[in-house]
Amino acid sequence: MAEYVKEKIVLKVPPPAFSDIAKASNDLINKDFYHNAAAALEVKLKAPNGVGFTAKGTSQHDGPVTSSLEGKKALDNGIATTLSWNTANLITAKAELNDTLASGLKVEILGGFNPDSGNKGQKVNFFFKQPNFQTRVFADYSKAGAVSALADITLSHEGFLVGGEVGYDVQKAAITRYSAAVGYTTPAYNAALTATNSLNVFAASYYQKVNSAVEAGAKATWDAKQQSAVGLELAAKYKLDTASFAKAKINNLGIASLAYNTKVNSGLTFGIGGSFDTQKLNEAGHKIGTSFTFEG
């Protein structure tokens, strides 16, 4: 009787970028909590000619309303152009070349201009992805003529991740910052250790998809330079149904945050959230925020 051995197929995909090694836990802890602004509005529209428009407005708890308008057009051969204008009177133009120059290579060319003060500098970003490897380089030419660069790299092997980052000032010929990270990721959970700010700020994070409806995560942070106490954050997300979810988190200072998000229909998503000091519930200082996203 013939025996058949099923060959194990390993799908090689690029690892996450260095800044995304702890993305799952960071998103769970920081994303979709709407109390940071009193109200946020985002409108996404697509014109018949393929141009996508995005308008954003944010009303802070203190300070003026900020907003921006962006238009993006995808061209042939992986080329796209984006033009944006915000309430700081900054006009930004960006050209993207995705897999145009080489397979796995994305290039971004950005320029900023203020009608009142003139040129605000230029940037060129490179993103190169291959199986088990990803590297990025961000080159910045400032208005004053200073040139700086930030580069990072991530390597992966069977779920293990290791990455590093370094910043360099060309004029001073000096390293300005460096960071390192290690992690392990699976479809159900991932963990990461990061050392940023020239290896002065250490963070340990963990994320787990408990089941199809529940996600949980935690993050501990310690600043060695400031000799501060360890900061701890715990968060959880519960998927109520296919269109809505609720989130909650609390930190070691007793600041608790709650959020609710629902897709009302195909064109409207609504979110509401609040931040509360559990040690001073009878005092002012709590924050409430809302978010509206329209798509069409």
Provide the number of structural domains found in the chain. 1
In a domain, 212, yes or no: yes
State the DSSP string of 169-212.
ETTTTEEEEEEEEEEEE-SSEEEEEEEETTTTEEEEEEEEE-SS
Q: Which domain holds residue 34?
A: 18-295
Burial (CB < 10 A; 0-12, 13-18, 19+), residue 292, is middle
pLDDT at residue 182, as a whole number: 98
pLDDT at 8 over 70: no
pLDDT at 176 over 60: yes
Tell me what the pLDDT averaged over the chain comes to.
92
Can you say how many angstroms the Cα of residue 173 is from the centroid of all Cα atoms in its chain? 30
pLDDT at residue 284, as a whole number: 76
pLDDT at 177 over 80: yes
In a domain, 221, yes or no: yes
The size of the chain, in residues, is 296
In a domain, 231, yes or no: yes
Q: pLDDT tens for residues 260-295?
A: 999 999 999 999 999 999 988 877 778 999 999 999
Strands 287-295 and 268-277 turn out to be antiparallel
pLDDT at residue 45, as a whole number: 95
Is residue 11 very low, low, confident or very high in pLDDT (cuts 50, 70, 90)?
low
Q: How far apart are CA 110 and CA 83, in angstroms?
A: 10
pLDDT at 9 over 70: no
For 243, list phi and psi in degrees, rounded to 5.
Answer: -115, -5
In a domain, 4, yes or no: no
Is residue 1 very low, low, confident or very high in pLDDT (cuts 50, 70, 90)?
very low
We report the CATH number of the domain holding residue 39 as 2.40.160.10
> Looking at the DSSP assignment, which residues form a beta bridge with residue 237?
215, 247
Note whether 210 and 187 are within 8 A (CB): no
Is residue 5 very low, low, confident or very high in pLDDT (cuts 50, 70, 90)?
very low
Listed in sequence order, the DSSP H helices in the chain are 23-30
Q: pLDDT tens for residues 238-250?
A: 999 999 999 999 9
* Helices and strands (H, E) in the chain, number of each type: 1, 19
Is residue 18 very low, low, confident or very high in pLDDT (cuts 50, 70, 90)?
very high
What pTM was estimated for this model as a whole? 0.87
Residue with tokens 């490179």: 126
In a domain, 234, yes or no: yes
For residue 132, give every residue at least 6 positions away whose Cβ sits within 8 Å of its Cβ, in sequence order, or none: 12, 14, 15, 155, 156, 157
Q: Using the Cα atoms of residue 114, residue 115, residue 121 and residue 125 in order, give the sign of their dihedral.
A: positive
Is residue 6 very low, low, confident or very high in pLDDT (cuts 50, 70, 90)?
very low
pLDDT at 57 over 50: yes
Percent of the chain scored above 90 by pLDDT? 81
In a domain, 10, yes or no: no
Q: pLDDT tens for residues 70-102?
A: 999 999 888 999 999 999 999 999 999 999 999
In a domain, 171, yes or no: yes
pLDDT at 126 over 50: yes
In a domain, 8, yes or no: no
